[in-house]
């Protein structure tokens, strides 16, 4: 157990680059390889001005838990660069991406450590990184990075994977609590990759999406929204709040509105000791990472509100990353249908395992998920 408290390896290094104006600059790079008892280290690389070692370590541990919760044969790691990508040119970001790989090439690889995109990194970043890695090592499996563009070995279905996985988790909890789609309402905070894909699936399955939001504000309509229509307005005019004829709210107010399922899909620390008691939903489905603080968790559990934890609810993303890695190693390319048909049983089994632990030990779902994951990791370490 003690061996799980600290990462196996920490890499901290400088990435010196020549900027477009010919000045020299150096950026701090990180990779934390937390635990690989269950398989190669797996986790994203974040470009952000606030990246530091403590944050990367915490996120790496989270990945160890997440891969164990869904039972895919991978460990956990995380990386980052302390940089504000909004202040840099694309050519400079490419140099940083290649510089990160030049530093880490001896320590990553298809059977060693498989990074992916995270905040402010994307398929293009992975393409640069893979290209640099191939030049240095001559490896052609393309399995060292996931989240790549399809034509560079990326997987079909990755775009909607996290929302889809969240939807499978919704179907499971709905069955346990006897929530019928036609009489259940959902609020989705955040209309990005995860929130939007989830909202479309839930809407198509018959759930009523009564509230939605983005960084500019929120809208509520007890009669329900069609998320595709809202997304169209957001694209045309800039925000969901530009949708006419419905109630406009702040993001804080949205979380306290009437609904059966509240799905935070934006930022961390949205449900806190200040607002958890005002939540009216019977389920919080954590599509975002870390939207509920520990104090809020306790308040929700005391109110008998089920929190489906992030390590389960948004694990569809890492599961499809695992599929990408697996396809690259086998030199295969699966159809979207194949990918989604493999995702469903993995998500559903993970839910059932956690539910069983919850029933057996009368613990909330997050504690049950952590207990199950730690058991799996320790047994692999032994």
Residues classed as catalytic: 78
Using the contact rule CB under 6 A, the part of the chain among 203-211, 224-232, 263-271, 328-336 near ligand NAD is: 263-271
Among 17, 209, 288, 357, binds ligand NAD (CB under 6 A): 288
Among 120, 184, 257, 289, binds ligand NAD (CB under 6 A): 289
How far is it, in rounded angstroms, from Cα 257 to Cα 220?
8
Least distance in angstroms from the C-beta of 313 to ligand NAD: 9
User: Which single residue is written with the structure tokens 């995109």?
Assistant: 117
Report residue 189: phi and psi, to 5°. -95, 120
Binding mask 293-322 for ligand NAD (x = CB under 6 A): ---------------------x--x-----
> Is residue 189 a contact partner of residue 158, using CB atoms and an 8 Å limit?
no
Using rule CB under 6 A, residue 193 touches ligand NAD: yes
Containing 117, the helix (H) or strand (E) segment is: strand 113-117
Work out the angle between the directed axes of helices 227-237 and 193-204 (0-180°, nearest 10): 150
Least distance in angstroms from the C-beta of 54 to ligand NAD: 17
Q: Which is nearer to ligand NAD, 97 or 289 (CB)?
A: 289
Among 122, 215, 269, 341, binds ligand NAD (CB under 6 A): 215
Q: Which is nearer to ligand NAD, 7 or 190 (CB)?
A: 190
Specify the 3-state DSSP secondary structure of 285.
Answer: strand
By CB under 6 A, what part of segment 89-118 binds ligand NAD?
none
Least distance in angstroms from the C-beta of 20 to ligand NAD: 26
How far is it, in rounded angstroms, from Cα 216 to Cα 200?
21
Q: Which two tokens stand for residue 238?
A: 């800039």
> Is residue 191 a contact partner of residue 230, using CB atoms and an 8 Å limit?
yes
- Which residue minimizes CB distance to ligand NAD? 192
Q: Which is nearer to ligand NAD, 47 or 98 (CB)?
A: 47
> Is residue 321 a contact partner of residue 336, using CB atoms and an 8 Å limit?
no
Q: In this structure, what DSSP letter does residue 106 have?
A: T
By rule CB under 6 A, what count of residues binds ligand NAD? 20
Using rule CB under 6 A, residue 162 touches ligand NAD: yes
Using rule CB under 6 A, residue 190 touches ligand NAD: yes
**SS3 sequence, 133-161?**
HHHHHCCCCCCCCCCCCHHHCCCCCHHHH
> Is residue 345 a contact partner of residue 71, using CB atoms and an 8 Å limit?
no
Q: How many Cα atoms occupy the beta-carbon half-sphere of 378 within 13 Å?
A: 11
Least distance in angstroms from the C-beta of 334 to ligand NAD: 18
Among 185, 213, 319, 327, binds ligand NAD (CB under 6 A): 213
> Is residue 317 a contact partner of residue 293, using CB atoms and an 8 Å limit?
no
Using the contact rule CB under 6 A, the part of the chain among 22-30, 177-185, 286-294, 329-337 near ligand NAD is: 286-294
Q: Which is nearer to ligand NAD, 120 or 185 (CB)?
A: 120
By CB under 6 A, what part of segment 226-255 binds ligand NAD?
251
> Is residue 96 a contact partner of residue 28, using CB atoms and an 8 Å limit?
no
Among 134, 192, 247, 344, binds ligand NAD (CB under 6 A): 192
> Is residue 270 a contact partner of residue 297, using CB atoms and an 8 Å limit?
no
Using rule CB under 6 A, residue 271 touches ligand NAD: no
Among 94, 132, 156, 214, binds ligand NAD (CB under 6 A): 214
> Is residue 77 a contact partner of residue 41, using CB atoms and an 8 Å limit?
yes
Q: Which is nearer to ligand NAD, 15 or 167 (CB)?
A: 167
Q: Which two tokens stand for residue 28?
A: 């701090």
Report residue 250: phi and psi, to 5°. -85, 165
Q: Which is nearer to ligand NAD, 78 or 208 (CB)?
A: 78
Using the contact rule CB under 6 A, the part of the chain among 25-33, 172-180, 222-230, 281-289 near ligand NAD is: 281-289
Q: Which is nearer to ligand NAD, 125 or 162 (CB)?
A: 162
Least distance in angstroms from the C-beta of 12 to ligand NAD: 23
C-beta neighbour count of 60 within 10 angstroms: 27
For residue 289, CA distances in Å to 175, 245, 263 come to: 24, 32, 11
Q: Which chain residues interact with ligand NAD by CB under 6 A?
A: 162, 189-195, 213-215, 251, 265-267, 287-289, 314, 317
């Amino acid at each position: 157990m003690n061996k799980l408290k600290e990462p196996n390896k920490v890499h901290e290094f400088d990435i010196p680059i020549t900027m477009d104006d010919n000045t020299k600059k150096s950026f701090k790079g990180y990779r934390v390889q937390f635990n690989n008892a269950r398989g190669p280290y797996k986790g994203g690389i974040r470009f952000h001005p606030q990246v530091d070692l403590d944050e990367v370590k915490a996120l790496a541990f989270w990945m160890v838990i997440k891969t164990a919760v869904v039972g895919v044969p991978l460990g956990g790691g995380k990386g980052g660069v302390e940089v504000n990508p909004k202040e840099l040119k694309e050519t400079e970001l490419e140099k940083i991406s290649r510089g990160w790989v030049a530093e880490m090439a001896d320590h990553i690889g298809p059977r060693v450590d498989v990074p992916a995109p995270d905040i402010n990194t994307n398929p293009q970043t992975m393409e640069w990184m893979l290209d640099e890695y191939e030049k240095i090592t001559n490896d052609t499996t393309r399995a060292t990075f996931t989240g790549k563009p399809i034509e560079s070995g990326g997987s079909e279905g990755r775009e909607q994977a996290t929302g889809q996985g969240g939807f499978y988790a919704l179907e499971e909890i709905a069955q346990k609590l006897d929530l019928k789609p036609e009489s259940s309402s959902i609020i989705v905070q955040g209309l990005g990759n995860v929130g939007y894909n989830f909202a479309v699936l839930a809407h198509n399955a018959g759930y009523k999406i009564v509230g939605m939001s983005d960084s500019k504000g929120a809208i509520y309509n007890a009669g329900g929204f069609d998320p595709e229509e809202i997304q169209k307005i957001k694209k045309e005019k800039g925000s969901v709040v530009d949708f006419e004829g419905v109630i406009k709210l702040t993001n804080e107010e949205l979380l306290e509105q009437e609904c059966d399922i509240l799905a935070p899909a934006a930022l961390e620390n949205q449900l806190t000791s200040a607002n958890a008691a005002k939540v009216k939903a019977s389920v919080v489905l954590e599509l975002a990472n870390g939207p509920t603080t520990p104090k809020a968790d306790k308040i929700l559990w005391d109110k008998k509100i089920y929190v489906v934890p992030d390590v389960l609810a948004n694990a569809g993303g890492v599961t499809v990353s695992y599929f990408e890695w697996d396809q690259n190693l086998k030199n295969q390319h699966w159809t979207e249908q194949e990918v989604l048909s493999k995702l469903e049983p993995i998500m559903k089994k993970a839910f059932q395992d956690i539910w069983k632990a919850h029933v057996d030990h009368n613990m909330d779902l997050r504690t049950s998920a952590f207990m199950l994951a730690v058991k799996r990791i320790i047994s692999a370490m032994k």
